[in-house]
Structure 1
């Protein structure tokens, strides 16, 4: 049986990804910072709860010890940062977002790496965004209508994409990919997205269920490859 950990899985895309993977037979750990919300979500889903704050070394180490074995890691936990004028952004604002979206994803990957390496079919899915595409930021010809300027969030997802590329090359035995769920109606955008949460989760689930013949070092959405 495949054991899967999803960070930030008590709501939205993480929750839906957990629901779909449970339905496919995975043993899913719902990683959540808040124990009450995490346990409630896990109970609803028929999954297991593990307390996990991706910004805290000890919390991540304790989670790895509790999970014990792992085949699939979905780095889903993320924050958007403040919605203010770019001129009002501070270094502290960047730090807070990077702590979750970049350093948190790395911390979880690095801590769970020995468990992944012990798996016969190790897979990592980093939940990125089309806003992390440098091509879209610099080329209006490939930019999507939903693209917006968001210096902190976008740059954090671009950094996450580079982690995907680097670690996929460093660990060829692990399938490591970034995904863009698309403009999905979640708390992040005040539920203004043009996709449902199940539609957004589709690409996450698809790449969480590949085998060792599947892709690695790619950046994908439901419609295909996203330009880096």
Structure 2
């Protein structure tokens, strides 16, 4: 097979398909046109190489409620204040040149390296905004993904992680969810549990009915 131009794309956690387009990406194309592309002579083929890296957690990067702007229902909207910093810029450059070096060492010819550009929001695995921690003043969740301030709420998606490595984190989310569920079930079985699930129930008081808040420490509700 003749080796032709190989494009090296350097992006911080940008999907390869987004960087080089969906054409000729098997998972994102189908049909007669796709088959025709695959049947072309090898001399017309190119390939792309994308880079993934960690964005470090920065205290300045945050989300907050913007009370100066309202949505169509009159509710304040969520504002995102986030940017890449020096470490991410240097890592992008390093990934680009390392990728080119690896391809050349493998025998590829006419290697062209370039930075395709990237900014927060382009990836599909942004994390943070509800990180785990022991101190309620510095974190939203405890080690079980349970909210410090609202004990019957668990958050098990990427919010709990202030940063990620270069691999796909979805399996980690699944593991955290299974772990949190196991903990919640065990706590529900304890009469002295700090996990307080509740609902409002209509209780008859003499000839009157009133709503009471019932806490479920176990299978028997405690209403007041």
Higher helix share: 1
TM-score of the pair, normalised by structure 2: 0.23
Question: Would you tell me which structure has more strand in proportion to its own residues?
Answer: 2
